[in-house]
Amino acid sequence: MEREDLADLTIFVAVAEARSFTAAAKKLGLSQSALSHVIRRLEARLGMRLLARTTRSVTPTETGSRLLETLVPALANIDERISDLTHFREKPAGTIRISSSEYVASSILWPAISRIVSQYPEINIELEVNNAFIDIVKERFDAGVRIGGPVPKDMVAIPISPKLRMAAFASPLYIKKYGVPQSPAELAHHHSINLRLTPDASRYAWEFSTGAREFKVKTDGQLVFNRAHLVIEAARTGHGIGYLLECAVRPFLDDGTLVQVLDGWCPAFDGYQLYFPVRRQNSQAFRILIDTLRFRE
């Protein structure tokens, strides 16, 4: 393979994943015309069409999809191998890309990242906030964050938080007006403030259990948000009952602006974990990230 081939294939992956010459050009810092020229040159050299273009979209052809399936893990492996070379440097260095939800990014990851970049000026960290569950290998992230449980094949995980609990909550004003639900079933008679994590996702189902009894409640209400702080604000102003991680609302429970309900129906479960490909932990910079984030009892 010529050096030019590798560069062209990398550009093809960027365009195919973005499904847009405009978005790929912005990401790569190149012009749209330059990207179009590269794709035409690559298709001519291979003798096959890789992208189907319309005025509104760019999608891989069947051949392009097969090539993409081969290239994405191969390029990810090259990135990992290059990162591994930093092990031989005197000072830890390299770039680490992490995907995380908004709450974890601000409350857990950022304090650790701040310490790392202050101590190791040659370590660069890119933190992308995304509430959707994504394929971190396909999207070329080094690590992702998820709530405890099994991780994908060829991945490992480390705990980065203590156990968690969910909490249902409302303002004292709402409680005075509508009363306190005594069981999850009674939520049907209350105003609920819902969370939708991504535009194409359904409303988050509220999960409760006590002993062997488990309930998954799909609540209804006038308000639906995709950000936790808006759920909290709506609950504080008396618009209904919200349901989020207890740690996210703890300050408001402590100062009395929110009241926890159905407390006995919300047991603890495994907390947040950082998950990543097995080979990724060979990087010196990545090992520093793991050591800094790892939760210790």
The predicted-structure confidence for 221-258, as pLDDT tens digits, reads as follows 899 998 899 999 999 999 999 999 999 999 999 999 99
CA distance 277 to 155: 4
Predicted confidence at residue 252, as pLDDT, reads: 97
> For position 112, what pLDDT does the model report?
95
Quote the pLDDT of residue 86.
57
Q: How confident is the model at residue 3 (pLDDT cuts 50, 70, 90)?
A: low
**pLDDT tens-digit readout, 169-215:** 999 999 999 999 999 999 999 999 998 877 666 677 899 998 878 88
Q: Is residue 160's pLDDT more than 70?
A: yes
pLDDT band at 278 (very low <50, low <70, confident <90, very high): confident
Nearest to 161 by CA among 107, 204, 113: 107
pLDDT digit string, tens, across residues 35-76: 888 898 888 888 889 999 887 788 999 998 998 888 888 887
- What's the confidence (pLDDT) of residue 64? 87
Q: Where is pLDDT greater, at 116 or 24?
A: 116
Element (H, E) at 172: helix 172-178
Amino acid in the structure at residue 20: S
Residues 6 or more apart in contact with residue 232 via CB below 8 angstroms: 242, 244, 248, 249, 252, 258
For the cut 60, the answer to whether the pLDDT of residue 163 exceeds it is yes
